[in-house]
Structures are given as C-alpha cells and as structure tokens.
Amino acid sequence: MPKGEPTGKVVVKHEREEAVIRRHPWLFSGSVAKIEGKVQPGDVVDVVSQNGTWLARGFINPQSEVPVRVATWNPNERLDDEWLWNRLSQAWQKRVQLGIPNETDAFRLVYAESDFLPGLIVDCYAEFTVVQIYTPAMDRWRETIAEFLSELVRPKGVFERSDLDTRLREKLVPRVGPVRGESPPERLAVTENGLKFLVDVWSGHKTGFYLDQRENRLRSEPYLKGERVLNAFSYTGSFAVYALRAGAKQVINLDTSSEALKLAEENAAINGFANSVQSLEGNAFQVLRKFRDTGEQFDAIVLDPPRFAPTKATVPNALRGYKDINWLAMRLLKPGGFLVTFSCSGMVSAEMFQQVIFEAAHDAKRDVVIVERLGQSRDHPVLVTFPESEYLKGFVCWVW
C-alpha cells in the first residue's frame, strides 16, 4: 500500500501549471512534461513546475489518461494510512453535520475528489457499506479501506462493486464481492423520506440505487400526483413510488430491463401500491413514439435516462437524443402537465441541457415553463475547483 513517501516527481508543462495551482485535482497526460524516478501505478508522486517548484502531491498511474490524481496541496501532508483515516473521518463528519444519516440509511459517504479521496466511492445501504475502487492507489488500500470503514460506520459487512468502466480505463481488473464481514443479501431494504426500497447491491446499476436522485425524488413528488404518470427509464421505480404517495392513480414504469421492472414492482408493493403500477419493457424512444401515434396522454412524465455523452466526442449525438426524448414527452403531456427531466452526462452542461429543452418545446409547439432546477443530492457535493464533480442536472417543466 502507499506509504506516504513520494517515489518520483511529475514535471508539469509550463502552460498547464495554473490548473494545478488553482487546485484542479486531475493532471492529464497532455499536461505532463516528464516523469522522474521509477514509479509504479499507485505510487505517491510530487507534482512540480519546470523550474522545480513544488505544486502538489498525488497518486500516479502512467497507464491512465489522467496519470496523476492530486490528493493534497499541503507539502507537509503524507499520503499514508493516517491521511486515509482522516479523509474518511472527515467525509463521515460532513454527512453527519448535514444531517443525512438521520434522514435516510442509504447515502453516499465518499464522493471521490469531492471528498479529496480520488479513486474511491463509498455508499451506505442500511447495515452494509459498498465501495467502488477505480485507481491503483486505492486498490492497494482495499483492505485498509474496509478496516477503517468497519471502525467508522460499523456495518455488518463491506462489499465491493469495482466493476465500473473507469476501472478498465485504469487497467484494473473488475471485482465484485465481499471484502470484510458478512455478505449482503440479494435484496437490501433501505428507507428514504419515509418510503422503503429494495436494493440489489450485487448487480444493480452503480452500487445498486440512484442515491444522487434522493432529494430530487422528494422535490418532484408534488408534481407527480396526476391521474396518469409515465416513469421512463424507470430502473427500479423509485420515482413511481413517490408519485403514488403523492396521489397518482396509475404509474407506468418503462425500462429495457425486466429484472429492474420486477424490482420496481416489489418496491411499489412494499409501500402499499401493488395495484397502481404497470410494468412496460421496451426502448423508451420507440415506446414514446408508439404512444404518440396512438394518442396516449399523461398528466406527468419523468425522464431519467442513462448517460448519453460519456466523452466530448459523443456530445452532439447526446444532445440530439435528449432533444428527441424530451420532444416526445412534451407531445404526450396534457396541457398543464409536468415533465421532470434529467441529464446525468457530465459533458452536457445545465446551459446546454436548457437549450435542448427550448428546442424540444419549439418543435413540439408547446409553451414550457421551468418551475424548478434540480441537481445531485447533498451527499454528492460539488468541489468548486473541480466542475467535473457536477454531472446531474434536471428541470421540472410545466408544459402547456
């Protein structure tokens, strides 16, 4: 595991020094002038200017598109076990200070760079803690992370879901399974805003649940009480349960995954709404077109699609996709209906997404008013020096 002492230096190109000085935590390959010393993936390195001035300290992976992830701008801070414990403790105390553990037993404890722990995600689900590790440095610390989390949070078990794409890009093998303590059951029950949800931490999306949408689900609830609600890209149906609690008479959960739809039905049932949900398996673009052609109408629609733009190169196509699906939704809404729409593509800014809504409204010939702007929950804080940590944006639109 990292012992805190740098094994080498990374010299930054002169024109890229400012980004490090301004505390952006990523050093891209194009910013590196040279690497000094015999470094291995996961080693601690000092980041210096071309004249030798110390700038920062972080972890290196020469095989990555982001070869250095900065972890401190304090020259006296060692990146060792004590540093790791302090960072984990600080992340926990921040959530406690915000009152999050009192509101729910399902929340994000560590959000990588936003908690100054690059390469590490930690989510809490009731009596279990789930980790995602996607850099060599954090991979070396795997057992220590599990040990520290066991002391800090005292879960029944620490479970690993290190199977995300980022890990592959870091040249690490995917890994899923228990790390410490008990193995979680196939379904974990959690409570959020007075509602219960079943979570599959073994194979569900992300670490099992969309924790970043927790506060948006509550804020959207008053707009989802119409007679008929469509929950597109529904996953396990969390927005549907909030809609039903608000007073919706019928909600259609639409998703491509039969397993997710089955879990959505279970989530409706455990909250007492078993007879008010309908599951529809299919491609949202195709199904919404069919609804348009057959004259279907809804009082409210939720659009929470997967990430359409994983890279800058895919942004133009993503924007076309966002426009198309929102245009279709606007065509399906009754006058005065509400559209709750999201983009989780970090490459698509809130301004770009609002432009998409404008273009969709123009083409649909509907008058649209934005009544609420939505973002990721407080347990996914945005580091101001790292705009990439803000990825989720949404609007509640009133459609006439």
As annotated, the active-site residues are 344
CA–CA–CA angle 306, 308, 310 (5° rounding) = 105
Q: How many CB atoms lie within 10 A of CB 40?
A: 12
What gap in Å lies between CA 202 and CA 328, rounded to an integer? 34
Residue 124 CB-half CA count within 13 A? 28
N-to-C CA span, the chain: 59
